[in-house]
Structure 1
Amino acid sequence: MRLFIAAVLATAVAGQESCLSVDENPYLLFGSKTAYLFANHALSTNRVHEIPGCLPVAFWLASRHGSNNPEASEITKLQHLADLKANIVDNYRNGNFRNTNRRICSTDIELLQRWQWIPYINTTFANGLTSEGYMTTQQLMRAWKQRYPGLLTDNPHDYLVKYVEEPLYSASFRASADGMFRGPTEGLDIPRDNDEKGIRPYKFCSAWKSNVGENNDTLSQMHIFQSKQEYKDMITNVSLRLGFNYDINPDIVYSMYQMCRYNKAWDNAAISPWCAVFSREELQLIEYAEDLETYYKYGYGSPDTPKIGCTLLRDMIGFFTKHIQHDPDPQQPRAQIHLTDSEMLLMLLTTLGTHQDPAPLTGDNYHTSPVQARKWSTSRMSPFNANAAAVLYKCTTNGNFQGKERYQVLFLENEYPMYLEGCRVGLCDWSYIVSKFGELANTCDLGFCNSAVKINGFSALFVALACFVRNIF
């Protein structure tokens, strides 16, 4: 009888534990550090973008780098998780739990015990492209070439690649070239442009830095959200789960989240013990906090976004205009590729008018239906290897194509047709593109960068509301 009672008690205690690493449907959207596979569900590399009666004549691409190592400033914080791990294991062994219904389970503890910091991830290799990031970049470029074999040729002079001469982007260039040309490309003379001011203009724009990038008020909505009781409860719940008799510092909680999403980006199949620290709802709270940051820094919450995002738009329109004006003479390059960052990619998507919600995101409206189904999602818009492509097609009037114009542009986001108002599943008349974006591209000169007038948090929200109203009417 005593053995039976002991077994029942043991089962009851085990049933009270929180086992999050064994979730068969884990939450895998981690903002700007989401693996491309999780955000995009991996399209096949078949030629799925053929348009009857039309031939592709020019290819333009803005593509973010693959998964990278933490920055130098992050590495020290993440290394301290080794000490935290030891404390968590001690808490479990010693039974230091205020609420046994919340504690981490033995399976998750065993997983955490096996976790170790990877020694070669140090300041020397900070922010470098990982082997996984190299491979996914290579595969993505190979997929583009398989979709457009007649356009993306083996001639290196059919390409112009623009990227910043930094280790992360230089490695991305090598991975892209290896994928495009199916092997090492050291001997290939691929035309390139390394003008950082033209590639990442926001870094040289004093007005943007003052108004947005370095303005603490930009993050006011994020701070409002993080001050909510449910966000504070998330900190408390994580602390309880790990056996601490006090709330862990929010910065340490964020380091655990950082390690979770880095682990999943570096190895999509592996289970990260740091992800098992959070429930699905807690991960979604942290994800929304980052959405608020990106929305007001690089999205519709900033009036400066279209003024900078227009530089990529101008580049694309100018590239296609050159091909149209010189028709029927073929032009080089036939493909113009920007290896860029998440900031510029988000600014471009905002300038194009994609992912706009019916109301601005704020720190107060998380539980509303529109926000729960929001279009502005950093996880889906800007995961590792995120991309926005535009393909210029030349069409014949007697083909099977339903459009009437000779030139069409197909817009793609993360390899899927992009939704643009006034277009057909991402396919737009060239005249429509010119009428919709031509003036913005022509007046895009970054002249505003020399005049900096700070915008406070209230003004940023007002700007977001103004953008919302303008797009309705």
Structure 2
Amino acid sequence: MWKIIVVVLFPLCYGGVPNGIVSDWAVFSTKTLYRWAHSVAQPSENSGFNEVYNDRLCEAVHMSMLLRHGARYPSDGSVEEINDIHERLKDGKSINVFPELETWTSPYTEPLASTLNAEGKEEHRLLGQRTALRFRRLFQRNGQYIRFISSDKQRTRASANSFYGGLYNATGDCLYGNQRCAPPTGIANIAPTNLTIDDKIIRFYDGCDKYENDIEDNDDYFKEFKKYEKTEEFLNITKSIRAKLGLPSGFALSSTDVYTLYELCAYDQYTLEPPSPPFWCRLLSNGDREILEYGQDLEKWLESMYGDPLTSRVACPLVRHMLGNLKAAMNTSWDYSNITQEQANRGYTAANFLFGHSETVAQLMATLGLYKDNTPLLATNREALRDRKFKSSKLLPFSANLAFVLYACKAGPNDDNPDNKFLVKMFVNEEVVRIPGCNADACPLDTMLQQYANITNSCDIEKICDDDDDDISGTSVIIINTTVFIATLLLSALSCS
């Protein structure tokens, strides 16, 4: 009995799936679950709150955090591709193999396309819980001064809602929807807040003519990715699938079909309740999935990282927004244990949480100069880049996140200068990552701002995008008003379910 409990619960908590088909689940590129790629262990209370610098005790006073939406259902296009490949394989395969194909009914429908699913909601609820625990004192002191910003997509709005629920130990539709949240038992304080929909900040790449024309919609730009699909190791995957299914020689099996089967292996694990051993995964080996992961990395690297200098410039509005929040929260004379409404009116926030997409996170990373390999990703160098810095499964899974945390350092007993000094730390997927240009994990804010001064000072997005319109996003900014509950954070133990 006890052995069964350990074997079943451990993989579910730490990312494995007990079906024996897949040994490594952290290889599905941007379709990777957060818990497959990163620890979701409960942190110690206030473990991120304090920092010591030059004999000064520093305390977290602000955080600016970008989060990708949680796990979602397949998109409209993927639903069509799934239905298409299923019907063709069902009709084309040998009658003696994979009988599951003949009875399988796709659970992926157009009404649910791209919407947040149960796994995605749980990812963000637990992220909110862990964030609250690491910086509990920050939110206890100034939790009423928090902003939530999202793109105008259901999956990002719903992710913000779930994150809020974990942050404040609340249930219900706190940030959008018709159901109001009930305050935690014994807590009477409530305060209004907003969910701001701002695609200019979150989806800065939408409506950027140069990005869309030169990169996103330019097939020739992705020729290296297409070249990879013609390599021997990729073609061997196609041959293997044909052999396993007994497909006739005239059966058309495209690279898109292969990637659809690869993603179906992951989809079944984070959309079916409960997940079952996915027979789709049997069509690919663990080595096959690593080869396909590199293909997805190559495409993402071209699209959103370092394939073109533009991808390291177009996110400048987001960088300027996040660094601007850091500067607005900095005041050498403030007592951060007792922030006033007047100070909040002058721009102070305890936290800004922004909810976006894999493109948002990737292009922010590129603009900040993170995870840049010395050698560009090419169709011919997968083996040489096996230990590459840019690996989308690790960096850009569902619920990927990047945060700047500002620390105010108080004067010590032997310090003649009473003014606050300021540090900043960067966290990527909840792990400290050193800011480029800094020689320690905790970096003086002035040093960090100087590192990115050229980006923020030259952020003429119309010129960058060659766009004559004032509104580069094609969407207006919408404020969704609601009432939320601000309370002392008494969180329940983190669950891995």
Q: Secondary structure at the match of 1:190?
A: strand
Q: Counterparts of 1:219-258 in structure 2 under 5 Å?
A: 219-246=222-249, 248-250=252-254, 251-258=256-263
Distance 2:208 2:229 in 1: 29
The answer to whether 1:117 aligns with 2:106 is: yes
Q: Does 1:191 align with 2:191?
A: no
Alpha-carbon shift at residue 405 of structure 1 (Å):
8.7
Structure 1 contact 60–390 (Cα < 8 Å) conserved:
yes
| Equivalent of 1:435 in 437, 447, 450 | 450
Structure 2 SS opposite 1:66:
coil
Of residues 17, 41, 44, the one that matches 2:42 is 44
| 2:278 match | 272
Q: Mean alpha-carbon deviation: is it higher for 205-214 or for 36-45?
A: 36-45
Read off the aligned partner of 1:199 and give its amino acid letter.
I
Hey, what's the Cα distance between the residues in 1 that align with 2:464 and 2:410? 44
Task: Write the deviation string for residues 106-125 of structure 1: whole angstroms up to 9, x where unpaired.
Answer: xxx4776775422xx42222
Distance (whole Å) between structure 2 residues aligned to residue 212 and residue 86 of structure 1: 36
Find the counterpart in structure 2 of residue 152 from structure 1.
Answer: 139
Q: CA deviation at 1:152?
A: 2.3
**In the aligned structure 2, how far is the partner of 1:25 from the partner of 1:451?**
47
Could you tell me how far 1:35 is from its partner in structure 2? 0.5
Partner of 1:96: none
Shift of 1:342: 0.4
The aligned counterpart of 1:391 is 405
Match of 1:375 in 2: 389
Report deviation, 1:168.
Answer: 1.7
Helix, strand or coil at the partner of 1:150: helix
TM-score (norm 1): 0.80
Indicate the residue corresponding to 2:380 in structure 1: 364
Residue 352 of structure 1 pairs with residue 352 of structure 2: no
Name 1:60's counterpart in structure 2: 64
Q: What is the letter of the counterpart of residue 231 of structure 2?
A: K
Q: Is the 8 A contact 2:126 2:166 kept in 1?
A: yes
> Displacement, 1:24?
6.8
Looking at structure 1, the residues matched to 22 and 116 of structure 2 have their Cα atoms a distance apart, in angstroms, of: 30
Question: 2:322 corresponds to which residue?
Answer: 316
Residues 298-356 of structure 1, C-alpha deviations (whole Å, 9 max, x = no match): 11111111212222221111111111147416334211111010001001111111111
TM alignment of 1:389-468, pairs within 5 A:
389-398=403-412, 406-423=421-438, 426-451=441-466
Distance change >3 Å, CA 132–CA 27, structure 1 → 2 = closer
Structure 1 pair 216–84 and aligned structure 2 pair: CA distance change class (3 A): closer
- TM-score by structure 2 length? 0.76
Q: Which residue in 1 is equivalent to 2:156?
A: 169
What does residue 293 of structure 1 align with? 299
**CA–CA distance in 1 between the matches of 2:465 and 2:372?**
29
Q: 1:447 to 1:86 in 2, by over 3 A?
A: closer
- Partners of 2:405 and 2:425 within 8 A in 1: yes
Structure 2 gaps of 5+ residues are 1-17, 175-179, 182-190, 468-497
Deviation at 1:203, TM superposition (A): 0.4
C-alpha distance in 1 between matches for 2:367 and 2:257: 35
Q: What do residues 64-93 of structure 1 show as CA deviations (whole Å, max 9, x unaligned)? A: 001111111221221345435645875335
Deviations 1:234-271 (A, max 9, x none): 11111112222336512322221121121233369643
Contact 2:143 2:350 in 1 (8 A): no
**Helix, strand or coil for the counterpart of 1:191?**
strand
1:450–1:51: structure 2 CA closer, same or farther, 3 Å change rule?
Answer: closer
Partners of 1:399 and 1:215 in 2: CA distance: 61
Distance in 2 of aligned mates of 1:43 and 1:444:
39
Structure 1 spans left out of the alignment, 5+ residues? 1-19, 94-108, 453-473
Identity of aligned residues (%): 22
Task: Give the total of aligned pairs.
Answer: 412
**In the alignment, which of 26, 29, 32 is matched to residue 28 of structure 1?**
26
Report which stretch shifted further, 326-335 or 173-182.
Answer: 326-335
User: Distance between the aligned counterparts of 1:110 and 1:139, measured in 2?
Assistant: 38
CA distance in 2, matches of 1:169, 1:199: 10
Query: What is the RMSD computed on CA atoms of the aligned residues?
Result: 2.8
1:457 maps to what in 2?
Answer: none
Distance 1:317-1:269 versus aligned 2 partners, 3 A rule: same
Which aligned pairs between 1:95-134 and structure 2 lie closer than 5 A? 109=98, 115-118=104-107, 121-134=108-121
**Corresponding residue for residue 305 of structure 1:** 311
C-alpha displacement at 1:217, in angstroms?
A: 2.2
Indicate if the aligned counterparts of 1:82 and 1:116 stay in contact, CA closer than 8 A.
no
Letter in 2 for 1:170: R
Which deviates more from structure 2 when the two are superposed, residues 24-33 or residues 335-344?
Answer: 24-33
Shift of 1:149: 1.0
| Residue 291 of structure 1, CA deviation | 0.9
| Correspondence list, 1:77-96, <5 A | 77-83=81-87, 86-87=90-91, 90-92=94-96
Distance 1:220 1:156 in 2: 49
